Amino acid sequence: MERPTRPRVFVTRQLPGDALARLAAQVSLRVWEEQLPPPRDVLLAEAREADGLITLLTDRVDEPLLDGAHRLRAVSNVAVGYDNIDVAACTARRIPVGNTPGVLTETTADFAFALMMALARRVAEADTYVRAGRWRTWEPGLLLGTDVYGATLGLVGLGAIGAAMARRARGFGMRLLYVNRRARPDLEAELGLTRVDKATLLAESDFVSLHVPLNAGTRHWLGRAEFAAMKPGALLVNTARGPVVDQAALVEALSGGHLGGAALDVTDPEPLPSDSPLLTLPNLLLAPHIASASHATRGRMASMAVDNLLAALQGRKPPHCINP
Ligand code: DGY
């Protein structure tokens, strides 16, 4: 008797943990082994032959890809965000799309809080200062920073990660403001949050931390007018998506001195070009999009992406399915 052929799956990068070994036991697997994402022509060619794709936020899944991918029955993104995927185009072709919510919430909030603390207290600058041999004595005015304890934190977006950030901030006695599409009275009661309008959040926050997905409504949510409306000396933390901030306006706000500083785990584009003016600014802390990068969390994300993909290939709804 002929054995049924296994579904073909292309994974756009090696993933941490043992999830791909589990997948390999059930499908015919091809994994892109390079550090950089597969070039577009490679991705299109692989998609043409694939029943399933496991993608990262660096891989664009759009109409042109889907038009050539006649066998494709499942797309699984190893991220909670999915702005790299045209979900409507997948839905129109009845291709389920999975993502990895929940498992990275606390890890991402840990990092957002770490960035806020490090920016406020100039940790990276202090490290550079000591290593450069510039530390000569204890000085009353050396590397003065901003207090986090008791300051006002404005949260832009109060989904799972925004709420996890609020829980951490509460332990630091922070006053908590938020803007969100819908009110969250449950979290207001639990965490002492106050829902405000955008103008109030910008005017009153010592720290603004972004926790929204990237979509048409959030692209350039912070632009020139918004930076001008922020409290002088305020600090910005972005662990969401780079294009939520108008980066040219950010450069102006930082170099003009109105904004006290920014900590960015995400930029537009990623990585930044080597001539980006951001790289010349001292009051900026940069990280290479690693907010969810703990051993445990990246392993869980990979595992969840495999579960989503296998479910779809078996004709079931993925446990974490983005399509409406
Ligand atoms: C996501 O999941 O969307 C992050 O940006 C990467 O973990």
CATH 3.40.50.720 domain locations along the chain: 8-103+296-313, 105-286
Q: Are strands 193-195 and 235-238 parallel, antiparallel or unpaired?
A: unpaired
Rounded to whole angstroms, the Cα distance separating 101 from 103 reads: 6
State the virtual CA torsion across 126, 130, 136, 137 in degrees, nearest 10: 50
Global ipTM: 0.97
Q: For a substitution probing ligand 1, which of 80, 215, 265, 322 has the most ligand atoms within 8 Å of its CB?
A: 80
- 270 an active-site residue? yes
Q: Are 156 and 165 in contact (CB under 8 A)?
A: no
Ligand 1 center–CA 292 separation, angstroms: 6
Q: Which residues line ligand 1 (CB under 6 A)?
A: 57, 79-81, 104, 292
Which structure tokens are listed for 20? 């791909």
Rounded to an integer, what distance in angstroms lies between the CA atom of residue 177 and that of residue 194? 5
Minimal-distance CA residue to ligand 1 atom 6? 79
Q: Quick one: pLDDT at residue 262? A: 98
Give pLDDT, residue 1.
55
Cα–ligand 1 centroid distance for 76 (angstroms): 13
DSSP 185-201: HHHHHHH-EEE--HHHH
Provide the CATH number for the domain formed by 105-286 in this structure: 3.40.50.720
What's the rounded Cα separation, in Å, for the pair 20 and 55? 13
| Backbone phi, psi, residue 276, to 5° | -65, 130
CATH 3.40.50.720 fits 8-103+296-313, yes or no: yes
- Provide the β-strand partners of residue 31: 11
Does the annotation mark 46 as catalytic? no
CB 84 within 8 A of CB 143: no
CA 194/CA 64 separation, integer angstroms: 44
Ligand 1: distance of its center to the CA of 271 in Å?
15
| Mean pLDDT split into 10-residue runs, the chain, 324 residues | 82 97 98 98 98 98 98 98 98 98 98 98 98 98 98 98 98 98 97 98 98 98 98 98 98 97 98 97 97 98 98 98 96
